[in-house]
């Protein structure tokens, strides 16, 4: 490819809308352009990388025996209605009607459709197991599209679905996808961590996420450097962290606290730290009002609570509801005498002599003890883990980091096969529900994640495996015949050797060309300058600082060798 003919609209300025490096660089390097909030077009250079990522995924999926197919993005409502997800998706689903007023959606994920397809195509145990996948565009009307293609409303996903006879078969299919995913993310040059993930209220017997550690990641991961435990925030099990304090339960006391409502004001008032308080958070779970009871300095994990309750919608109750339920102003809610379901965090059950609201404006109770002063049917872990908590596996301190979820694998079980009646006949001629798994990789999110882990102040530093082009040949002066001849010759020979190479034949100052090459991030740069007549070029790797003078032949063979080593 000749740079003079390539549509690569690079930008010098950092676009104001882009907050994170990958988003800025994808716009600046001319890889993509925004069309609307969370909707992007990929330009030629960006699309080359997209296709390379897709190809890596394809190869690793095929290696594990998965079969590729392609489904429509425009999907009839009925299958989602049958599974119940027409309602569950809520406003995240793009919905539309055809001219006959029939309901459709733009597919956010395809469990139902694959299940239907397999139901039609597979009848006997002899045809199982089977794993199918597609690389296809998904639509989700995200509440907060942001960070460019990290969280967009239209994105490419590789989604795979496995169908097995039983749980044992599922475990094997799942394991294959697990190893395919590891190879994919290794080939993408990503430094990733696999974490235990939550299977949600919809059941399923296991789930893992592939996370790329990054400060801009929206997910929090907890990990233990001693035993290797790793889980996301929703799944990480918290153990009670109680410093030894009182042994004896003291006498319950009601205390007037007229002006103290917030934890800070109460800390001043009682002269003790936040971990001596227990807060009562009133929630609306679908149509039911419940209260979550956790230590004053802890954060509630809403996913944990939602899973326990098995509800579709969970939101904090408004002030009016809180007043009605507690008969007190907001800030004085407490578990004693509260006549709704209480979900008590594990830690609270082990605390001694703590302080709670008295359900009476202006009052708190002190020396409260669970079991004696109030009770609950549900005592479970509902808080967020934090750095320094004990590892649930080995008790050493937990560490935390932010991460970008690039892939997700999930043992679904029979939820969809039962809902859609996807069965096979076993050896005895009896119908059995197929046991399913599902497996997703975000293609464009992975691309952004690669950039987040590979850039410097000058631009992107592509790993060779997904670089839009492997190498760029830069003649310093295009008007200089010798330079141009040598450059063209190198360009041709690299092309003949199968290297994806670009020649920067633009009549621009060398500074401009170098800036563009660095910004776009081609792994290898060969500069043909003053010493072209002597058969000498400059060889530079994007990831290194140093520039080497090499003989033309050496430059060519070195380039070929580097590319072959990676592509082999
Ligand atoms: P998130 O928690 O980030 O919303 P998710 O759990 O909704 O992700 P899945 O439904 O498991 O994601 O989708 C599989 C993969 O698709 C994710 O691992 C991610 O890489 C990608 N993905 C999901 N939502 C988006 C999005 N809005 N934009 C880009 N990629 C996405
Ligand atoms: Mg999501």
What is the C-alpha to C-alpha distance for residues 177 and 66, in angstroms, rounded to an integer? 9
- Alpha-carbon radius of gyration of the chain: 29
Q: What is the DSSP string of 140-170?
A: ---SS-BTGGGB-SEEEEEEEEEEESSHHHH
Q: Which of 365, 338, 359, 356 is nearest to 254 (CA)?
A: 365
Where exactly does CATH 3.40.50.800 map onto the chain? 469-567
Quick one: pLDDT at residue 202?
62
User: What are the per-10-residue average pLDDT scores of the chain (568 residues)?
Assistant: 96 92 98 97 98 98 98 96 90 97 97 96 97 98 95 98 98 98 97 92 84 94 95 94 83 92 88 94 95 96 93 91 93 94 96 95 96 96 96 96 97 94 97 98 98 97 98 97 97 97 97 98 98 97 97 98 89
Quick one: pLDDT at residue 200?
74
Where exactly does CATH 3.90.960.10 map onto the chain? 253-380
For 270-287, what is each residue's pLDDT tens digit? 999 999 999 999 999 999
Mutating to test ligand 1, I would choose from 109, 154, 442, 450 the residue with most ligand atoms within 8 A of its C-beta, which is: 442
- Looking at the domain that runs over 17-236+400-451, which CATH code has it been given? 3.30.930.10
Domain 253-380 of CATH type 3.90.960.10: yes
Nearest atom in ligand 1 to the alpha carbon of residue 109 is: 10
Nearest atom in ligand 1 to the alpha carbon of residue 142 is: 27
Predicted model pTM: 0.92
Buried b / exposed e along 376-406 (16+ C-beta atoms within 10 A): bebbebbbbbbeebbbbeeeeebbbbebbbb
Is the CB–ligand 1 distance for residue 405 below 6 Å?
yes
Is the CB–ligand 1 distance for residue 146 below 6 Å?
no
What is the C-alpha to C-alpha distance for residues 490 and 505, in angstroms, rounded to an integer? 13
Quick one: pLDDT at residue 99?
98
The fold of the 469-567 domain, in CATH, is Rossmann fold (3.40.50)
Q: What is the residue with the minimal CA distance to atom 8 of ligand 1?
A: 405
Between the CA of 96 and the centroid of ligand 1 the distance, in Å, is 22
Is the CB–ligand 1 distance for residue 157 below 6 Å?
yes
Q: What is the residue with the minimal CA distance to atom 12 of ligand 1?
A: 408
Mutating to test ligand 1, I would choose from 93, 440, 447 the residue with most ligand atoms within 8 A of its C-beta, which is: 440
For 93-125, what is each residue's pLDDT tens digit? 999 999 999 999 999 999 999 999 999 999 999
Quick one: pLDDT at residue 105?
98
Quick one: pLDDT at residue 201?
63
Is the CB–ligand 1 distance for residue 148 below 6 Å?
no
């Amino acid at each position: 490819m000749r740079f003079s003919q390539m549509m690569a609209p690079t930008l010098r300025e950092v676009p104001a809308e882009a907050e994170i490096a990958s988003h800025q660089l994808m716009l600046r390097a001319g890889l993509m352009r925004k069309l609307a909030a969370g909707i992007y077009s990929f330009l030629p250079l960006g699309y080359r990388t997209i296709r390379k990522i897709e190809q890596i995924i394809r190869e690793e999926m095929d290696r594990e025996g998965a079969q590729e197919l392609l489904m429509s993005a425009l999907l009839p409502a009925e299958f989602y209605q049958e599974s119940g997800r027409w309602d569950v998706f809520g406003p995240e689903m793009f919905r539309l009607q055809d001219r006959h007023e029939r309901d459709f959606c733009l597919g956010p994920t395809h469990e139902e459709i694959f299940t239907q397809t397999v139901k039609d195509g597979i009848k006997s145990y002899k045809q199982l197991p089977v794993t199918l996948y597609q690389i296809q565009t998904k639509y989700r009307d995200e509440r907060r599209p942001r960070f460019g293609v990290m969280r967009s409303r239209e994105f490419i996903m590789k989604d795979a679905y496995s169908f097995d006879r039983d749980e044992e078969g599922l475990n094997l299919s799942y394991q294959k996808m697990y190893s395919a995913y590891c190879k994919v993310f290794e080939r993408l040059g990503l430094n990733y961590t696999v974490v235990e993930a939550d299977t949600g209220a919809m059941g399923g017997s296991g789930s893992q996420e592939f996370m790329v550690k990054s400060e801009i990641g929206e997910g929090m991961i907890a990990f233990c450097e001693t035993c290797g435990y790793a889980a996301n925030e929703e799944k990480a099990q918290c153990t009670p962290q109680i410093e030894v304090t009182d042994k004896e339960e003291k006498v319950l006391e009601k205390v007037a606290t007229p002006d103290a409502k917030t934890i800070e004001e109460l800390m001043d008032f009682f002269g003790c730290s936040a971990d001596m308080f227990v807060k009562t958070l009133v929630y609306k779970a679908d149509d039911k009002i419940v209260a979550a009871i956790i230590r004053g300095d802890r954060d509630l994990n809403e996913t944990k609570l939602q899973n326990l309750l098995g509800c579709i919608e969970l939101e904090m109750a408004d002030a009016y509801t809180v007043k009605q339920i507690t008969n007190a102003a907001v800030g004085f809610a407490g578990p004693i005498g509260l006549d709704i379901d209480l979900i008590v965090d594990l830690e609270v059950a082990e605390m001694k002599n703590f302080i709670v609201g008295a359900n009476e404006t202006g009052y708190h109770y002190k020396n409260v003890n669970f079991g004696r002063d109030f009770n609950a049917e549900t005592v479970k872990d509902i808080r967020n883990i934090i750095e320094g908590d004990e590892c649930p596996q080995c008790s050493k301190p937990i560490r935390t980091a932010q991460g970008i979820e690039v892939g997700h694998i999930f043992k679904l079980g029979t939820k969809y096969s039962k809902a859609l009646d996807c069965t096979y006949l076993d050896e005895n001629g009896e119908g059995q529900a197929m046991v399913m798994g599902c497996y997703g990789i975000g293609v464009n999110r992975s691309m952004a994640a690669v950039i987040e882990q590979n850039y410097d102040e000058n631009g992107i530093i592509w790993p060779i495996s997904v670089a839009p082009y492997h190498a760029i040949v830069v003649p310093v002066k295009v008007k200089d015949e010798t330079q141009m001849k040598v450059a063209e010759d190198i360009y041709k020979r690299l092309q003949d050797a199968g290297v994806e190479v670009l020649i920067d034949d633009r009549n621009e100052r060398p500074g401009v060309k170098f800036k563009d090459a660095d910004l776009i991030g081609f792994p290898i740069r060969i500069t043909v300058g003053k010493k072209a007549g002597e058969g000498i070029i400059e060889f530079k790797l994007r990831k290194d600082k140093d520039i080497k003078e090499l003989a033309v032949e050496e430059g060519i063979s070195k380039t070929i060798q580097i590319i072959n080593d990676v592509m082999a």
